[in-house]
Structure 1
Amino acid sequence: MKFLLDLLFRVLQLFTEPYFLLFLAVVIMGLLKRKNKRKNLRIGIGISVVLIIIFIGNGFLGKLISGYLQNSYTHTSEVKNTAAQNPVIVVLGGGVVDVNNTEKLHTMSYSRIVTAYQLYHEFRKNNTPCKIVISGKGRGHTSEAELFNENFKKMGVSDADIIKEDKSMNTYQNAKFSSPIIKKLAPASVYLVTSGFHMKRSVSLFQIFGLKPIPQASDFIDTEITIFPNSYNAAFTFVMLKEVVGIWQVQLYNSLGVNK
């Protein structure tokens, strides 16, 4: 059953790809033309697709989705309890890019590093022992966890305070593989650091494995409502649409009991 559901959501994810929408419209219009369907119907489909893309490019849809994904996390950047015993900061990988045969962290990863370090620094300033769990393998030769580790050590984080989880390839695995490590540390508080648009799904997945992380959003994305559509709005809207589909997937799997 889970295999079929996974396949269903992979197909659904295609509808968050602009090129797939255009391709689908062309195919449908071609089939209608071949079957001698009315020209007005083909034109209607073409216009509908164009209007959808314009609506996305104008930033209206992106603005709505941005609020749904991120509004709950815009005031969570401060540590509310610096007296917490044995806190753990979990940082999710943000991707690896290959530049001139050199693997570097994706740009969004650096905001996560900064946010995690700020939390770590606050606890250490209050003489509170604190661990950082870095979660992510990525698709490069060097894991995201290792690249994060190198940056944290340059910033002065003790090697003894860093724990690497370098097997996970996606957010579900981030939660699955990190949770036993975190539970073994028996922290009073778990702080989850990732991007704002990614936080809602991440928190839900960590809760599946018995954790109640405190969200610490490291960065936020939004669209700007414009008269003429632009690629900036379109790109971020489709990124957020993918995330919404991912949240639906988590919610459905939870209701069916097939997430663990």
Structure 2
Amino acid sequence: MKFLLDLLFRVLQLFTEPYFLLFLAVIIIALLKRKNKGKNLRIGIFTSVVLVIILIGNGFLGKLISGYLQKNYINSPEIKYSTDQNPIIVVLGGGIVNIDNTEKLHTMSYSRIVEAYQLYHDYRKNNKSCKILISGKGRGHISEAELFREDFKKMGVPDSDIIKEDQSMNTYQNAKFSTEILKKMGTSSLYLVTSGFHMKRSVALFQTFGLKPIPKASDFIDTEITVFPNSYNAAFTFVMLKEVVGIWQVQLYNSLGINK
């Protein structure tokens, strides 16, 4: 059953890709033409797909999805330094880019580094111990966790306060493999650092494995409603649409008890 559901959601993810929508429209139109279906029907299908993409480019849909994904994480909860015991900050990887055969963290990773370091620094400033768990393998020769570790060390975080989880390839594995480490360590306060648009799904997955992370969103994305569509709106809207499908998948799998 899980295999079929995985396949279903992979297909749904395709509908969040603009090139796939255009490709699908062309295929349908070609089939209709071959079966001598009406010209008006073919034109209508193509026009509908183009209009959907244009409306996405106008930013209206992106604005709605942005609020759904991020509004709950704009204001971070107050940190209780006096009562927190063994706090751990989990930072999720944001991807790796390869420029001229040199592997670097994706641009969104740096806001996560800054957010995590600020929280870590606040604990240390209040004479409280704190550790950072970096989760992510990525698809490069060097793991995301290792690249994160190098940057944290440059910022003054000692190696003894850094924990690497460098096997996970996606958000589900981030949650699963990090949970295995965290449950062995024991902690009263668990902070989860990732991008705002990615937080809702990430929190849901960590909760799936029995944890209650405190969300600390490192950055936010939004679209701007414009008269003429633009690539900025389209790109971020499709990114957020993909995240919504991912949330639906988590919710369905949790309800069926097949997410562990």
- What TM-score does the superposition give when structure 1 sets the normalisation length? 0.99
**Could you list the runs of 5+ residues in structure 2 that have no partner in the other structure?**
none
In 1, the alpha carbon distance for the partners of 2:185 and 2:153 equals 21
**Residue in 1 that maps onto 2:80:** 81
Structure 1 window deviating more from structure 2 (140-149 vs 44-53): it is 44-53
How many angstroms does 1:122 deviate by?
Answer: 0.4
Q: Report the Cα distance in structure 2 between the residues aligned to 1:85 and 1:123, rounded to whole angstroms.
A: 11
Asked if 1:39 corresponds to 2:39, the answer is: yes
Task: Give secondary structure in 1 for the equivalent of 2:224.
Answer: coil
Give the deviation of 1:80 after TM superposition.
2.1
Displacement after TM superposition at 1:32 (Å): 0.5
> How is 1:45-84 mapped onto 2 (pairs within 5 angstroms)?
45-76=45-76, 79-83=78-82, 84=84
For 1:187, the equivalent position in structure 2 comes to 187
Query: 4+ residue runs of structure 1 moved beyond 2 angstroms?
Result: none
How many residue pairs match? The answer is 259
Aligned partners of 2:161 and 2:181: how far apart in 1? 13
Secondary structure in structure 2 of the residue aligned to 1:85:
coil
What is the percentage of aligned positions where both structures have the same residue?
81
Residue 90 of structure 2 is matched in structure 1 by 90
Distance of 2:207 and 2:234 partners within structure 1: 31
Tell me the CA shift for residue 111 of structure 1: 0.1
Alpha-carbon distance between aligned partners in 2 of 1:167 and 1:24, rounded to the nearest angstrom: 36
Aligned equivalent of 1:230: 230
Alpha-carbon distance between aligned partners in 2 of 1:92 and 1:35, rounded to the nearest angstrom: 50
Superposed CA offset, 1:135-168 (max 9, x none): 0000000000000000000000011000000000
CA shift for structure 1 position 79: 4.5
Secondary structure of the residue that 1:124 maps to in structure 2?
helix
Which residue matches 1:10? 10
Over residues 106-147 of structure 1, what are the superposed CA-to-partner deviations in whole Å (9 max), with x where a residue is unaligned?
Answer: 000000000000000000111111010000000000000000
2:9 counterpart letter in structure 1: F
In 1, the alpha carbon distance for the partners of 2:37 and 2:115 equals 57
Deviations 1:192-237 (A, max 9, x none): 0000000000000000111000000000000000000000000000
What TM-score, normalized to structure 2?
0.99
CA–CA distance in 2 between the matches of 1:189 and 1:162? 16
Whether 1:220 and 2:247 are equivalent positions in the alignment is: no
What SS does the aligned partner of 2:52 have? Answer: helix
* Greater mean deviation of Cα atoms: 180-189 or 130-139: 180-189
- Residues in 1 aligned to 2:24 and 2:106: alpha-carbon distance in whole angstroms: 31
Q: How does 1:116-195 map to 2 (within 5 A)?
A: 116-195=116-195
Secondary structure in 2 matching 1:29: helix
The residue type equivalent to 1:197 in the other structure is F
Matches of 2:48 and 2:190 in 1, distance apart? 46
1:106 match: 106
Structure 2: distance between partners of 1:128 and 1:181: 21
Which residue number corresponds to residue 242 of structure 2? 242
In 2: Cα distance, 1:29 partner to 1:67 partner: 35
Deviation at 1:85, TM superposition (A): 1.1
Mapped to 1, the partners of 2:127 and 2:167 lie a distance apart of 31
Range 247-256 or range 79-88, more displaced: 79-88
Q: Distance in 2 between matches of 1:17 and 1:51?
A: 15
Contact 1:79 1:119 in 2 (8 A): no
SS of alignment partner, residue 192 of structure 1: strand
Q: Which amino acid aligns with 1:107?
A: T
CA offsets, 1:35-71, max 9 Å, x none? Answer: 0001110011011011101110000000000000000
- Letter matched to residue 106 of structure 1: H
* Structure 2 Cα separation of the partners of residues 249 and 37 of structure 1: 36
Please tell me the residue identity of whatever aligns with 2:195: S
